[in-house]
Structure 1
Amino acid sequence: MMRFIALALSLVLAGAQAAPAGPWLREKGKGFIATSGNITQEKDTSGSAYFEYGLRDNITLGADLFYGIDRTLQQSGSGIVFLRFPISKPDATHKWAWHVGVGARSQNRIFTPAVEAGISWGRGIKVGERYGWAVIDSSLNIPGSDLETRIKLDGTIGLGFGDHFKGMAQVFTTHQGGEVFAKFAPSLLIIPGKGKYTVQIGVEIPVQGGGDTEFKLGLWRDF
């Protein structure tokens, strides 16, 4: 069983776009949205959407949505609306934040309410002359009686390779129903033009708990 969670990543050059999740709060009036779609060779498909908006400099409103359907037409989904608050000081090297949210989860169109809470850590990094960041995100999601409690611990590490390209490596781990599931997810991030959009091209490779490799295409935008 995997006993540690490697660093999941969403990286950025200094002053560049921030990636989903992590302890960095959005400035008041500023927002971010990321959408993605995954597919396996066996035609299992899934989609996700992630949203953040700065209500105040110290409060970020967010939403995290997921829907998947496999080759046997089994369906699953989840949606959480959350608020994120800082723990560390604004000028701290090591950033900490916590979030709390409410929403629902579903299995084959059976919906149950859910609550969620979590803590995130992150910091900027420098490798040679290149800048990026490292992040660890954790969450505890407790649904109604029909589904099982879900614990997630994800890590991200990333590095910029110029104004228009970044590399990102992530590890996603989930503990649910007495089992641990883990995926390794490398991605290339392409920032065309003036940098308002980021295109994500990557794969998610299962390393524990079974499943098939998924091919991912995503789009991020700051606003």
Structure 2
Amino acid sequence: MPLASVSAGAWLQQEGQGFSATSLTLRRDLAALKGLSEGQRLPAEIGFYGEFGLHPRWTLGADLNVSRGSSAHALLFLRHPLPRLGQANTAVELALGANQSSGVWAPMQRITLSYGRGFDIALKGRPLSGWIALDLGHEWRSKGRQQTWKLDATLGLNRPGKLAPLLQVETSRTAGAPLSFSITPSLRLPLAKRFGKSAPELVIGLQHKRAETRALGIKLAIWHRF
């Protein structure tokens, strides 16, 4: 498994070990930044993602997200491996919980198929390692009245103890609504080198998102392996 991934996707946690990511995203309407409209600060988004290895073939996790004054969801999930595709890992994940919209909570379900592969290459004579992950998910929100397809991609490099780049692309399509997406290039910064590979990391990213409006934002996260 990669040394760090924002969500393990195709990889399972080792039994008795876990990973957590706590994030805060602040956005502002792009038109306002360009001076084309009155300033509009979009709701802050807070997220928590955690997972723990229950068994060599089962990983249990939680996915929580709150966008102030807008929406929220709270999910528990189980991940199980699928057959390998060459050198790549694949897995299926089932999540159950609830989502909130307009102040009303309702059942929510999600199923995700994940593909992930690590790589080791040489660039100008220097070793370079990292991972790429793809996650295809389908969500049923508000008792199935709202259905959304999601396709996310992550590309990260491993540089233990040093700044490491990360690129995340997230896309989603809800029935009756246009495609929305976000692109978030980030840097991972180890916070305590004395802990070695298990050191907490600060992740700082600049996000461009298009949903109901186009927005720029700053995403901050703390990653921790335990």
Q: TM-score range by the shorter chain?
A: 0.7 to 0.9
Question: Counting helix residues as a fraction of each chain, which structure ranks higher?
Answer: 2
Unpaired runs of 5+ in structure 1? 1-10
TM-superposed CA distance for 1:145, in Å, is 4.2
Partner of 1:122: 116
Cα distance, 1:135–1:127 mapped onto 2, change above 3 Å? same
Q: TM (normalized to structure 1)?
A: 0.85
* Residues 1:158 and 2:156 aligned together: yes
Change (3 A) 1:162 1:55: closer
Displacement of 1:146? 7.7
Identity of aligned residues (%): 27
Choose which of 71, 91, 94 in structure 2 pairs with 1:97.
Answer: 91
Distance, in Å, in 1 between the alignment partners of 2:70 and 2:169 is 24
Aligned residue for 2:32? none
Question: How many pairs does the alignment contain?
Answer: 205
**Quick check: 1:182–1:209 contact (8 Å CA) kept in 2?**
no
Shift of 1:208: 6.6
Contact 2:24-2:45 at 8 Å conserved across structures: yes
The aligned amino acid for 1:17 is: A
Where 2:215 maps in the other structure, the secondary structure is coil
Residues 181-214 of structure 1: CA deviation (Å, up to 9, x unaligned): 0111100001132242011000210257633111
Determine the structure 2 residue equivalent to 1:24: 11
**Is residue 82 of structure 1 aligned with residue 82 of structure 2?**
no
Q: Give the corresponding residue for 2:20.
A: 33
For 1:55, the aligned partner's letter is L
| Aligned partners of 1:88 and 1:94 also within 8 Å | no
The alpha carbon displacement at 1:221 in A equals 0.5
Query: In the alignment, what sits opposite 2:47?
Result: 48
Deviates more, 1:104-113 or 1:154-163: 154-163
**Inter-partner Cα distance in structure 2 for 1:145 and 1:29:** 34
Partner SS for 1:87 = strand
**In the alignment, is the contact (CA less than 8 A) between 1:80 and 1:101 conserved in 2?**
yes
Aligned-pair CA distance for 1:17: 3.3
Q: Quick check: 2:107–2:143 contact (8 Å CA) kept in 1?
A: no
What's the counterpart of residue 184 of structure 1? 183
Structure 2: 5+ residue stretches without partners: 29-40
1:132 equivalent to 2:130? Answer yes
Answer yes or no: is the 8 Å Cα contact 2:48–2:65 preserved in 1: yes
Q: TM-score w.r.t. structure 2 length?
A: 0.84
Q: Does 1:210 align with 2:208?
A: no
Structure 2 distance, partners of 1:51, 1:93, is 26
Change (3 A) 1:173 1:209: farther
The structure, 1 or 2, with the larger RCO (C-alpha pairs under 8 Å, 6+ apart) is 1
Moved more, 199-208 or 60-69: 199-208
Report how far residue 110 of structure 1 moved.
Answer: 0.6
Q: Given residue 80 of structure 1, which amino acid in structure 2 is its aligned partner?
A: L
